[in-house]
Structure 1
């Protein structure tokens, strides 16, 4: 895991074109692991709206959405987000991420997850970050395990993915699990 290869940056409106290209290039690859989305999602305007919603979410402390960028070229190779932030006694966020298919297997997802978790704990004072992943998505499970997440059980029929209610293994990490 080499954090010298990538960095995370809040997505900005100027990133919409690159995010659009990333989504289109990987649409068929991601589909088995994503909800069915309206066609408007797969447009430049759809990505502009997603980024605008992310900016608004950050202003409201509800979500933080980052691009995953290669340091060498500043190319966007993925996206990672902390969403559904709950404050009060919970101090929790949900984690979601994806990496461009052509960049899979290089450790970028594991590095991005580790970086995002550190941000969650050190900058946003969250106590817990959780992620749900379909049990058949072994590469994503391996990413979470390598980043220090523990498996907390199986949620039956948890999310509607690609038109089917899918079970998800729930993983979590707390601030107490890592050294700041």
Structure 2
């Protein structure tokens, strides 16, 4: 997926992307760690990345997640990931949005572009009604990404996720199909 004038594109991740994803995670481990759960060393293996990718494959109407690589159009380099997880059907029609980008690509607008593409996919391809995301209050760059992508701030969830070994508060953001249209 790409915008006509976009500088990056989203591709559903496949098993053949596992090594590039593993390399990206390893290169950016120290940069990303303050914003992620503590992970067992086994997470940083090719097998674990393949398993993660395979969890987001299959029938789009049945999958509980969709994982996309963020690739630079100019070079084809994998520079980040955006994911829809916890996809709920029935009366909820909701997904959680999560993302990360390489440290050297931060602040260039790629993540906002990728989030917009992913939200468009959630509404247009998956038929969802709502996409939500949680961001730690100190992560202002991530808050700006969501706001630029049209998300609204809904409130504070105290001790929401265990990040880097600590129960962290998160500001909850959401966008619904009506907001998107």
Q: TM-score, normalised by structure 2?
A: 0.94
Aligned residues: 179
Q: Secondary structure at the residue paired with 1:144?
A: helix
Q: Which residue of 2 aligns with 1:118?
A: 120
**Alpha-carbon offset, residue 60 of structure 1:** 3.1
Cα distance, 1:3–1:144 mapped onto 2, change above 3 Å: farther
Cα distance, 1:3–1:99 mapped onto 2, change above 3 Å: farther
**Which has the higher mean CA deviation after the structures are superposed, 48-57 or 142-151?**
48-57
Distance in 2 (CA, whole Å) between partners of 1:93 and 1:51 is 17
1:105-145 Cα shifts (integer Å, max 9, x gaps): 11000000001001100111100000001000000000000
Distance in 2 (CA, whole Å) between partners of 1:110 and 1:124 is 20
Distance in 2 (CA, whole Å) between partners of 1:155 and 1:174 is 19
Q: Quick check: 1:18 aligned with 2:20? A: yes
Q: CA RMSD in A?
A: 1.6
Q: Which residue of 2 aligns with 1:86?
A: 88
Match for residue 65 of structure 1 among 39, 64, 67: 67
Q: Which residue of 1 aligns with 2:129?
A: 127
Distance in 2 (CA, whole Å) between partners of 1:110 and 1:54 is 22
Distance in 1 (CA, whole Å) between partners of 2:5 and 2:138 is 27
Q: Is the 8 A contact 1:92 1:128 kept in 2?
A: yes
Q: TM-score, normalised by structure 1?
A: 0.95
Q: Which residue of 2 aligns with 1:54?
A: 56
**Alpha-carbon offset, residue 155 of structure 1:** 0.3
Q: Is the 8 A contact 1:121 1:127 kept in 2?
A: yes
Q: Secondary structure at the residue paired with 2:19?
A: helix
1:57-114 Cα shifts (integer Å, max 9, x gaps): 8573211110011111111010000010111111110000001111111100000000
Cα distance, 1:61–1:125 mapped onto 2, change above 3 Å: same
Q: Secondary structure at the residue paired with 2:172?
A: strand
Can you give the 5+ residue segments of structure 1 that lack an aligned partner in the other structure?
Answer: none
Distance in 2 (CA, whole Å) between partners of 1:27 and 1:57 is 31
Distance in 2 (CA, whole Å) between partners of 1:3 and 1:134 is 31
